Each structure stands twice: as C-alpha cells, then as structure tokens.
A and B are shown apart, each in its own frame.
Chain A
Amino acid sequence: MLYREAGQFKSSYAEDQRIFPIRQDRIAFWALMAVAFVLVPAFGNQYWLGAILTPFLILALATLGLNILTGYAGQLSLGTAAFMAIGAFMAYNFILRMPWLGVIPSFILAGLCAAAVGVVFGLPSLRIKGFYLAVATLACQFFVLWALQRFGWFTNYSSSGVITAQRMEIFGFAFDTPATKYVLTLSVVVVMALAAKNLMRSETGRAFMAVRDMDVAASVIGIPMMKTKLLAFAISSFYCGVAGALDAFCFLGTVEPERYSLDLSFRILFMLIIGGAGSILGSFLGAAFITLFPIFLNLVSGWISHTTGFEISHAVLSNLEAIIFGGLIIFFLIVEPHGFARLWQIAKEKLRLWPFPH
C-alpha cells in the first residue's frame, strides 16, 4: 500500500543510478539516520549506547570489511581479527608517538598499516584459492598476534602486553562519554559504509565480482588479477583496521592482543554468512544477529525467571543460550542460505506486489 513506486519517474541518469531508487526507501534511510544520530544519543542510556550499539557498529564495520574481500571479491579470509588488532595497536602507537597527528588521521594511518599487512598476506591469493587461501590467511592471524605479543614496541613495553586507549579529542572536543563515542563510531561507520556501497557499484566493484564469479573468465576479459585481488585485500584490511581502532578507543578502552583471537575472526565470518555474503546491508544484519541475540536471550531468560519466579540453574541457562543460538543459525542457513540480506530483499519485493502476489 504505502510501498509503491508508481508515479516515481526517473528523468536523468543520476536519478536512475542512486543507491535507493524508491522514494520510500530514501525516506526510511534518512529517518533511520536521524534517529541514529539525534534521537539515540539524546535518549539512549549508557547501557544501550556503550554496551550494545557501539560494539554492534564496530563489528558491523569489520564484517563489512570481510564482506568486501569474501562476499564481493570471493577470497576467503580468516585473518579479520588480526587486521583489527593491527588497527587497534597502531592507532595507539600513532597517538602515543605522534600526538600532534590527531585522532582521525591516526585511525586512517592505522587502517593503512592494516592494509599494507593485508596486501602482504594477500599475495598467496594470486596462486591459491578457496580453503587453501583460508589456511594462508590463518597464518596471518597467528603471525600478527605473535608479533604483537612478542615485540614490546607495539605496547610501549607494557608489562602485561596491553594497550590503553588515550583520551580522544577532535578540534578540542573530547569524546569521553558513551554517547559521544557512539556518535563518533556511527559517523565513521556511516561514511565508510556509504563509501563501500559506492565502491561496489563502480568499476572496481564490478571487477571484484567478476573475479569472484570466475577468475579465469575475468582475466580473459582483461581484468588484472594481481591488482584486483590485492586491492580487495587492501581495502578489506583497511576497513578491519579502522574497526579495530574504534574497538580499542570507543568501546573497550584497554585491550590485550588476546581480544583479537581466531575466535573473533570466526565470529565475524559467521556474521558475514548469516547476514549475507556480497551485501552491505547484510553486514549490519549479521553483526546485529550475532552480537545482540545472545544478549537478548540472556535478558529474556532473566525476565522469565524474574516474572514467573521459575528459577533454572544459571549454568543450565547459559548453556541453553548457546544451544538455542546454534540451533537458530542452522535453521536460518537451511531456510535462507543467502542470509538475512536476501530475506530482506524478498520481503521488499513481496511488499511491492502486495496485495496481488502475481
């Protein structure tokens, strides 16, 4: 009913090529931005801002980074967390050693460091594919954590090998409350997500997808393999690096290298699979599901035992949470192997035809 595009005509190429071709989508997008930028920081409490939304946005950004590499360019990677670690530790070092640089340039430089490492570990992708490439990126995961733990320089010779994020100030404005940190994270994530969306609609993005779908065919039609694959690694690692810097500075504050273990790499890969490979929106949906759903289950079980007075042992409850979560992942993968993004697309198409399905 409301979701109709009848009467919306496109009279220029620019209008034809916009990200949201349907007016209702544009309105919904701007409304979402307004809510996220204005209402949420104004009315959200510290719990929601600091413990739910900020980590969700950061992980969504990391998933987006992996999505560029795996979802669009078809190169499987298990080194996501390692790139985040580089971002976090290098951002700390840039701010520590070059304080005049400022926060945002430090984050960008940290992202570039991650990109450089990404390119190096992306080199094997020129010769190997699929699972074998995943194993090669696994080496990156272990090597980076090993280096961060062994070389004291990265942690400024801290005895326990941790870094503590410095105070963030941009143009004299201090980002030190959960609300301001949330706004900073949100701004970075929105800008980078829009950039990714546009990049994927450009020639570069099409080259990525050609490589993903069939790299032999892609090289035959003249897409340079080395440049494209390494570019995918570089961009993806840059996104993950910035996500790592945000993770250290806007969320945790003090981090140890262990935070970016293989476990996190896998969780980000699951976010990608659940959300939908090759979709910007999917990165956000997947991150939301994997980070928020266990917390939601935890809260619900708390409410149930609180309101009904029916108390189950906490150990059982905690394990039950993991079981339900695992079950749901299997369920979604069977029902919709292309992830939430595909479900969303189907829902939108149905809505456009509603109430006449044919």
Chain B
Amino acid sequence: MKRVALVSVLAVPLLAFAQAKEQFVPVNSYWVGPYAPGGSGISGGMIDYFKLLNARDGGINGVKITWEKCETEYRNDRGVECYERTKKKGPTGATLIHPMSTGITYSLIDKGTSDKIPIVSIGYGRADASDGRVFPYVFPLMTNYWSQNTAKIKFIAMQEGGMDKLKGKRIAHLYHDSAYGKETIPILDLQAKKYGFEVTHIAVPHPGNEQQAQWLQIRQVKPDWVILRGWGVMNPTALKAAAKVGFPRTKMLGVWWAGAEEDVIPAGEAAKGYITAGFNLSGANHVVVSEIQKHVYAKGQGEMEDKSRVGSIYYNRGVQWAIVTTEAVRKAQERFGKGRPVTGEQVRWALENLNIDEKRLKELGAVGFMQPLKLSCLDHEGGGAVKFQQWDGKQWKVISDWISSDQSIVRPMIEASAAQYAKEKGITPRDCSKEQ
C-alpha cells in the first residue's frame, strides 16, 4: 500500500510535467444524423488546422494542441454530456468550447460561465450574447444572426436599387422551426416596419424534408424574395420545392447554414442561381488551405476521408474556427506566459482582447479567407460583415464585397434583450471600463 502511494506521489508530477506542453481543445460535433455534413466538415477543418500547426510550427509557441472528438448527434443532452466529459481534460482543462449547435449553446451558457470555459459560437448561437457585459463567457463571434439579417436586407435593397425601393416589397421568411430558426423573427419585423416591406414568417418543422404546404403558402403570398433560414436536409428540399412551384432561385437568399456545397448539390439543377450569405469563403486555393494540403494531407494524415471536401464551405469554416481558437490561445500566452498551456479563464481574457487585423491575416495566409476580427468587453461579436455568394451549378461565386451590418438597429436590440436576460437571471452587468 505504502509503495503504491509512493509511486503515485512520484508519478503525479512526472505526468504533469509530461503533459505540461499541451493545450486541449474539445471537438464536440456530429458525424451521424441529418446534420452530419455540417458537423463532419467543420470538425474536419478544425482538426486539420490543429494538425497543421503541430506539424509545421510545433504547436503554439511549442505548446502542442491536443483534441478529443465527441459525438453529440446535434442533441442537447448529448452535447451537455460531451461538454462535461471533456471539460477537465488536458493539463488546463478545455480551452474553449465550440458547441456546434445553437441548442447546445443555450444549454452550456450557465455551465460554461460557472466552469470558466468560454463558449464560442461562431456564426450561430444566442445573438444577444454579443453584449459581453451580461455574458462574460459567451462569444457569438464574427457575425451574429441579427447582424447577418441586416446585411441580407441591405443586399436585397442593393439588388432592388436602394433602401427606399424596399417599400411595398414582400419577403417570405422560411425558417427551421427551432430556436435557431426563430432567432431573426423580431429583427425582421422591426426592419419591415422601418423600411416598409411586408414579411411573412413560415415555419418548417424539423428536420424539414416535407415542405409542400409551406411552398403553397409562398405561392399565395407571391413574395419578391424568399429568405431561407434552413439547416441540413431542409435546404435542398426547399430549393427543389421552389423549382417545382416555379419560384426564381435568384430571388432566394439563404443564411450561411444554408449555403454550403452539401446544401445545393443534392438539389441538382434546382439550385442554380441560388444566393446565400457567408462569413467565410470556399475554395482550396487559399494559402492556409494549401498549407494544410502540403503539411497534413501530403503525409496522409488528413482528417477528411473524402478529400474533395477540403476547401468546401464547411471545411473552410472549420479552419476559420480553428484560427480563432489558436489565435486566442496565442494572445493568452502573450499575456500569461509564452510556451505554457493557458486556462479557459485566460482564454476568455484573450478573446476579449483579440485583434486579428489584415496584417495578422496575411501572416496566417488567410487574407480574403475571413474578415478581420476585433473584440472587446462590450462587443463579443467582432467582424459583423457578410459576403454574398451565388451557386452557378458547380461552385460558389462571390457576388458582393464584405457588406457591413447595420449596428444602429442591431445593437439596441441586443442590449435590450441582454438586459431582460440579466433581469430574469439576476445578473449584474459588468462595468467594462474596469476590465483590463
């Protein structure tokens, strides 16, 4: 007994030392079910970028990135299980969590805040969490749904020839009937009032492979534009249904979760001309993706089984998330000690002080791949700009520059909604001037 105790006393620091140069990032995603194309693509891109950093640079300042995959099936309870399973792994616990589902994000907000692990939801999640005073540990980065929506309306106005031309236009809002899908209803209503267009909200129940009734309604409404807030199998179904009722795809505008190759290829010809928003671009010709090809795939260590998916929208989105993750770790190391693994709390500070500018993007080989990102205690969103792309039958063609969102509409709504949340939960918002 004594010997066992002695051995374990000796072994513990040894183990700790052996593990000390590792930064653990959980990869909780989904490889089965109706949303598997998104989950497998994003997690693949993320892991490949980690592999690239480990292979090419030896990690982040010598700290290797480690990860563990966990299957959530896009279900909230499994997502919580995965979070709890992985949050203490590695020498410093989970660096941050990408919940990979708006529903799971909601379930983790309380848990992450009390465990001091940042919940990073890039391009999804709770829009009002952009108010960092109420949500210190939640980061809906790049562009939240509300910001994206203002950019979409701007884009429609540009197509119609000016903001004043929106008056009297009819927009049908076809959405996935879940927290994710409903997120933009209030802002659409507000904008409809402001610009004088009519909006009809039409819900599609999960998973969305049956949309006949909805498209019948769209035919009755005769909208000028259809905004598609779909996810997974709902998207190709909508495109096919639109073709069937003869609604022009060039007047269909998708959210970025309805804008990947996996969403349009199954619809075949019906998808031609369809437009979606995006916060990252597709293509394998970006420097960072070709670096991954060179350092990871050339050695046969790539994560994607289907190599043709490297450079697809979802894959590149995963790479982008990994860039944000590792840049936050780098920033945290700069302040709390280079070459040492950092904790979730330190990463939270780093995220709030993150500044990925054009110069840094150039060093990362990601110019044009993603937009610059600068965060603060007040603003947990950053970027806020959206590009639009059109499917030409073979690939996505970018058809706009970065279109900025209208923060004069979004920000007051975010603050009001966050304040309501704070009141319900009894949270006292932080004073950002005292943060350092």
Binding site for B on A (CB under 8 A): 46-47, 50-52, 55, 96, 149, 156, 159-162, 164, 166-167, 176, 251-256, 258-259, 261, 291, 294-295, 298, 302, 313-315, 317-319, 321-322
Contact = CB atoms under 8 A, between A and B. Distances in A.
B403 interface: no
Interface stretch (B101-109, B192-200, B261-269): B101-109
Contacts of B107: 252-255
A314 B31 CA distance: 7
B43 to A, nearest CB: 8
B77 A55 contact: yes
A254 B417 CA distance: 15
B425 A164 contact: yes
A164 B424 contact: yes
Given A47-B85, A256-B178, A321-B71, A251 B77 contact: yes
Contacts of A313: 305
Contacts of B30: 318
Which of B40, B114, B177, B305 has the most chain A CB within a 10 Å cutoff? B177
Interface stretch (B179-187, B339-347, B390-398): B179-187
B295 to A, nearest CB: 20
Given A47-B85, A298-B70, A253 B40 contact: no
Contact of B40 (A161, A252, A255, A315): A315
B126 interface: yes
A339 to B, nearest CB: 23
A50 B84 contact: yes
Contact of B183 (A159, A167, A322): A159
Contact of B426 (A55, A162, A167): A167
Given A46-B84, A96-B424, A256 B185 contact: no
Interface of B: 30-32, 36, 40, 68-71, 73, 76-78, 80-81, 83-85, 87-88, 102-103, 106-107, 109-111, 114, 126-128, 177-180, 182-183, 185-186, 203, 206, 305, 417, 420-421, 424-426
Contacts of B87: 46-47
B424 to A, nearest CB: 7
Contacts of B102: 160
A321 B71 CA distance: 10
Given A314-B31, A314-B71, A160 B425 contact: no
Given A167-B425, A315-B31, 13 more contacts: A46-B84, A47-B87, A51-B81, A51-B83, A96-B424, A156-B424, A159-B128, A164-B110, A252-B77, A302-B68, A315-B32, A315-B36, A317-B71
A261 B206 contact: yes
A51 B115 CA distance: 14
A160 B179 contact: yes
Given A51-B85, A159-B417, A319-B32, A252 B80 contact: yes
A258 B425 contact: no
A55 B107 CA distance: 13
Q: Which 5 A-B pairs have the closest CB atoms?
A: A51-B84, A256-B179, A254-B106, A315-B31, A51-B81
Contacts of A47: 84-85, 87-88
A162 B36 CA distance: 24
20 contacts: A46-B84, A47-B84, A51-B83, A55-B80, A96-B424, A159-B127, A159-B182, A160-B183, A164-B425, A251-B77, A253-B106, A253-B110, A254-B110, A256-B179, A258-B103, A291-B77, A313-B305, A314-B71, A315-B305, A317-B31
A258 B305 contact: no
B182 A298 contact: no
A301 to B, nearest CB: 10
Contacts of A50: 80, 84, 111
A259 B78 CA distance: 12
Nearest to B184: A159
A314 to B, nearest CB: 5
A269 B77 CA distance: 18
Nearest to A45: B88
B66 to A, nearest CB: 12
B128 to A, nearest CB: 7
Contacts of A156: 420, 424
Contacts of B417: 159
B185 A159 contact: yes
Contacts of A160: 102, 126-127, 179-180, 182-183
A255 B106 contact: yes
B81 A318 contact: no
Contacts of A167: 425-426
B378 to A, nearest CB: 20
B71 A166 contact: no
Contacts of A291: 77
Contacts of A261: 206
B38 to A, nearest CB: 13
B109 A254 contact: yes
A302 to B, nearest CB: 8
Nearest to A149: B177
A259 B104 CA distance: 10
Contacts of B186: 159
Nearest to A178: B84
Nearest to A46: B84
A50 B179 CA distance: 23
Contacts of B40: 315
Given A256-B179, A313-B305, A251 B32 contact: no
A274 B186 CA distance: 44
A90 to B, nearest CB: 16
A251 B182 contact: no
Contacts of A318: 30-32, 71, 73
A206 B250 CA distance: 65
B179 to A, nearest CB: 4
A251 B88 CA distance: 19
A149 B109 contact: no
Nearest to A50: B84
Nearest to B69: A314
A253 B104 CA distance: 11
A140 B107 CA distance: 26
B110 A258 contact: no
B424 A298 contact: no
A287 B127 CA distance: 35
Which of B36, B40, B81, B420 has the most chain A CB within a 10 Å cutoff? B81
Contacts of B180: 160
Contacts of B81: 51-52, 55, 295
A9 B263 CA distance: 71
A149 B111 contact: no
Contacts of B110: 164, 253-254
